[in-house]
């Protein structure tokens, strides 16, 4: 099993699958289909009875139950694309064997070093084999590690027909990194009662809470008048925009918050005297606090309109996604099963709220409760990405234990 997992991972990271937020097609880039097609071929070659790619590029596969009793259908999901933040072309994985706990030189020519001071989590992997980048690309462990781990678990199950399992449902998806990964996902067709995305970070990560998310666009209509004759007439949209921003609590910004603390995050501002625009993202794990944050935005606009006249400030609020906890908690056994699967193979579960969203969060609101399991990597989306080989193997073991647990074993 050992070599097969690594071989798969190394094969998949060779294929450039960067997604592109500026593209209007789905998947956003054609190369993603290259990997999706390869996965389909490999599933078929392994002898998975039902495997297909649909017109959107989703690859779905199903291994029917070999139990004589009913059991819930279990799904595993991973995404094939890599982040637009850094190139995923010509990835040259480097192996660090028997890691000594010191800084790792990724690229001597370019002086790129994975330093222990900056990344102290390296220390927990002393003596292990790590896979890093050569400093010029990302690695793609997000989420090709997850893909390779699921493929390895599937292969193991097919090679061992004596392992009891219920219906197993597998899906590989494009465009997760640009937030469109489940836009056309057919939950019914997958046919799982519960699923897990295998898209988390370091060994032990288990996530079933994420932000509630909205975007807020603020439009300021000013009144531009020749500055020489402006007294008591001009309304400078830029100043009103500044005032708007100053009304929001400065301590509630991403740079001052952590864990369960929500925020208002100004991501864009532009304008001139006549017109200005502010763009925020609003985040909170707690649904009522989230709703309150949106009200605060409306109240700030209202206050400024009272001062500068109706229609000066208008607000466009749009919900983006919600905290999957709402959907997962009624089926809390799926979290307990993940904890049990990890404990069975000696992995300590690390449960943290995600300060972002996941495809699983959206799937959870589409009727498929879907927590997120570790794939094993660190420092996603950049050149410092690395993954310990042992963590990948543990991830496969956790998946196999979950299969076991859902089969009632």
CB of 402 to Zn ion, least distance (A): 19
C-alpha to C-alpha distance for 19 and 202, rounded to whole angstroms: 23
Q: How far is the CB of 177 from Zn ion (least distance, A)?
A: 7
Angle between helices 31-46 and 2-13 (to 10 degrees): 160
Q: Does 149 bind Zn ion (CB under 5 A)?
A: no
User: Should residue 199 be labelled a site residue for Zn ion when binding is judged by CB under 5 A?
Assistant: yes
Residue 8 contacts residue 172 (beta carbons within 8 Å): no
Place of tokens 């192996």: 95
Residue 348, token pair as written in the block: 């300590």
Closest CA to 82 of 399, 373, 377, 393: 377
Minimum CB–partner distance for residue 273 and Zn ion (Å): 43
User: By C-beta, is 16 or 252 nearer to Zn ion?
Assistant: 16
Find, among 74, 288, 90, 296, the residue nearest to 193 by Cα.
Answer: 74
Least distance (Å) from Zn ion to the CB of residue 173? Answer: 10
Place of tokens 């959206």: 362
Active site includes 100? no
DSSP result, 26-86: SSSSTHHHHHHHHHHHHHHHHT-SEEEE-TT--EEEEE----SS----EEEEEE--B-TTS
Site for Zn ion in 115-144 (CB under 5 A): 142-143
The count of residues interacting with Zn ion (CB under 5 A) is: 3
CB of 121 to Zn ion, least distance (A): 18
The answer to whether 374 and 358 are in contact (CB under 8 A) is no
Say how far apart CA 121 and CA 205 lie, in whole Å. 14
90 in active site: no
Q: Closest CB to Zn ion among 143 and 207?
A: 143
Q: Which of 16, 81, 167, 397 is catalytic?
A: 81
Q: 305-324 mask for Zn ion (x: CB under 5 A)?
A: --------------------
Give 322 or 374: the residue with its C-beta nearer to Zn ion: 374
- Least Å distance, CB 142 to Zn ion, is 4
* Of residues 78, 84, 349, the one with CA closest to residue 202: 349
To the nearest whole angstrom, how small is the minimum distance from the Cβ of residue 140 to Zn ion?
A: 10
| Comparison of 199 and 205: residue with beta carbon closer to Zn ion | 199
Q: Tell me, residue by residue from 41 to 80, as one string, x for binding to Zn ion by CB under 5 A and - for no binding.
A: ----------------------------------------
Beta partners for 194?
74
Q: Which helix (H) or strand (E) holds 145?
A: helix 141-159
CB of 290 or CB of 374, closer to Zn ion: 374
Catalytic pick among 142, 149, 176, 199: 176
CB of 291 to Zn ion, least distance (A): 28
Q: How far apart are CA 383 and CA 262, in angstroms?
A: 29
* Span from 41-49, 58-66, 192-200, 287-295 in contact with Zn ion (CB under 5 A): 192-200
Q: Per CB under 5 A, which region of 44-52, 193-201, 297-305, 327-335 contacts Zn ion? A: 193-201
In 3-state terms, what secondary structure has residue 229? Answer: helix
* Token representation of residue 289: 């606090």
- If binding is defined by CB under 5 A, does position 359 make contact with Zn ion? no
Report the residue number, 142 or 155, with the smaller CB distance to Zn ion: 142
CA 180 from centre of chain? 11
Q: Which is nearer to Zn ion, 211 or 290 (CB)?
A: 211
Residue 259 CB neighbours (<10 A): 8
H or E stretch covering 390: helix 389-406
Stretch that binds Zn ion, among 131-139, 194-202, 204-212, 326-334 (CB under 5 A): 194-202
C-alpha 126: how far from chain center: 27
Complex with Zn ion: residue 16 or 142, whichever CB lies closer: 142
* Candidate ranges 43-51, 197-205, 234-242, 336-344; the one touching Zn ion (CB under 5 A): 197-205
The C-alpha atoms of residue 220 and residue 218 are separated, in whole angstroms, by: 7
Residues near Zn ion, by CB under 5 A:
142-143, 199
Catalytic residues: 81, 176
């Amino acid at each position: 099993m050992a070599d097969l997992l690594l071989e798969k991972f190394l094969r998949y990271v060779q294929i450039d699958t960067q997604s592109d937020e500026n593209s209007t097609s789905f998947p956003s880039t054609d190369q993603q289909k290259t990997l999706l097609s390869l996965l389909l071929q490999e599933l078929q070659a392994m002898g998975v009875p039902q495997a297909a790619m649909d017109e959107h590029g989703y690859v779905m596969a199903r291994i029917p139950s070999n139990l004589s009793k009913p059991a819930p259908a279990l799904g595993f999901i991973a995404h094939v694309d890599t982040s637009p933040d850094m190139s995923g072309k010509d990835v040259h994985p480097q192996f660090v064997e028997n890691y000594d706990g010191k800084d790792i030189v990724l690229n001597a020519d370019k002086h790129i070093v994975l330093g222990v001071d900056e990344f102290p989590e390296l220390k927990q992997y002393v003596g292990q084999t790590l896979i890093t980048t050569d400093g010029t690309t990302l690695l793609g462990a997000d989420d090709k590690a997850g893909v390779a781990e699921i493929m390895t678990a599937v292969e193991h199950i097919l090679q061992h027909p004596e392992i009891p399992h219920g219906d197993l449902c597998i899906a590989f998806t494009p465009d997760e990194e640009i937030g469109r990964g489940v836009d056309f996902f057919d939950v019914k067709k997958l046919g799982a009662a519960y699923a897990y995305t295998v898209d988390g970070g370091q060994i032990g990560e288990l996530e079933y809470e994420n932000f509630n998310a909205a975007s807020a666009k603020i439009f300021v209509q000013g009144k531009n008048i020749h500055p020489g004759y402006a007294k008591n007439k001009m309304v400078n949209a830029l100043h009103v925009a500044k005032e708007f921003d100053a009304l929001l609590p400065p301590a509630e910004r991403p740079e001052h918050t952590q864990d369960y603390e929500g925020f208002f995050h100004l991501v864009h501002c532009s304008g001139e005297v006549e017109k200005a625009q502010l763009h925020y993202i609003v985040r909170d794990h707690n649904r009522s606090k989230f709703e309150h944050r949106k009200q605060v935005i409306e109240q700030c606009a209202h206050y400024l309109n009272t001062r500068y006249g109706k229609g000066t400030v208008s607000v466009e609020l749009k919900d983006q996604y919600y905290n999957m906890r709402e959907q997962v908690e009624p089926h809390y056994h799926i979290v307990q099963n993940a904890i049990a699967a990890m404990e069975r193979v000696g992995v300590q579960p690390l449960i943290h709220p995600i300060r972002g969203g996941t495809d699983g969060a959206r799937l959870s609101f589409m009727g498929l409760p879907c927590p997120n399991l570790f794939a094993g990597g660190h420092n996603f989306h950049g050149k410092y990405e690395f993954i310990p080989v042992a963590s990948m193997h543990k991830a496969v073991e956790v998946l196999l234990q979950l299969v076991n647990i859902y089969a009632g074993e």
